[in-house]
Amino acid sequence: MHKLCLIRNIVSIITISFLVHNFSFAHSGRTNSEGCHNDTKNKTYHCHNKKIKSKKKITGKLKVIDGDTIHIGSLKYRFSGIDAPEKNQICELNKVAIRCGILATEKLREKIGLNTVKCREESIDRYKRIIAECFVNNESLSSYLVKNGYAFAYRKYSKKFILDEDYARLNKKGLWSMKFEFPWDYRRNN
């Protein structure tokens, strides 16, 4: 009888310890498809499960493909959480056609310049591109593009750049000063 009580006490202590440990590190909030979410308690956006964790150094010639895609050597990177206008997409400013897909591409090319690009890989998409957040001098290229109005927060996949988009929209930055179609609508309609 004494051994049975002792075992129950040990099991109770282990269970309580486990619950206390897990609750102390857990918090509420569902994650999106990237395993990320806004933590309203701490006012942060963070991710829990990255599908790729690469510590290898990627080197090679950098090529800007469009406003949200680059190639480094033979690797194709698609910026996570944002969507930039398609290359052939046209916007309108004061009744003048603006090639906003080309504009977004050029703004990305200007921002990168001759700097080294470092990417934090997150997953691989159905087109075999590496989905990543890429940086120049520790500044997120995705954040830069969205905050300056040359790309949009891709809310379908991420909430990470919504505040940057709100800033661009309120300050009529980049495409927000023009008539435009969201890239996802443009692709669907064309």
Question: Does the model's pTM come out above 0.75?
Answer: no
Residue with tokens 């080309």: 102
Token representation of residue 43 = 């006012």
For the residues of 129-180, what is the DSSP string, one character each? PEEEEEEETTEEHHHHHHHTTSSEE-TTT--TTHHHHHHHHHTT-GGGGSB-
Q: Cα(116)–Cα(54) distance, rounded to whole angstroms?
A: 17
Question: How confident is the prediction for the chain on average, in pLDDT?
Answer: 81
Higher per-residue pLDDT: 18 or 166:
166
Higher per-residue pLDDT: 6 or 76:
76
Q: What's the pLDDT tens digit per position in 118-172?
A: 999 999 999 999 999 999 999 999 999 999 999 999 999 999 999 999 999 999 9
Q: What's the pLDDT tens digit per position in 24-47?
A: 344 455 555 445 544 454 433 444
Q: Percentage of the chain with pLDDT > 90?
A: 67
For the purposes of burial, counting CB atoms within 10 Å of the CB of 8, is it exposed (0-12), middle (13-18) or buried (19 or more)?
exposed
pLDDT over threshold 80, residue 72: yes
For the residues of 36-66, what is the DSSP string, one character each? EEEETTTTEEEES--S----SPP-S-EEEEE
| Structural domain boundaries in the chain | 62-189
Q: According to CATH, what is the number of the domain 62-189? A: 2.40.50.90
Residue type, 21: H
Confidence at 61, pLDDT banded by 50, 70, 90: confident
Confidence at 3, pLDDT banded by 50, 70, 90: low
Higher per-residue pLDDT: 9 or 21:
9
Higher per-residue pLDDT: 74 or 50:
74
Tell which phi-psi region holds residue 160, choosing left (phi > 0), alpha (psi between -120 and 50) or beta. alpha
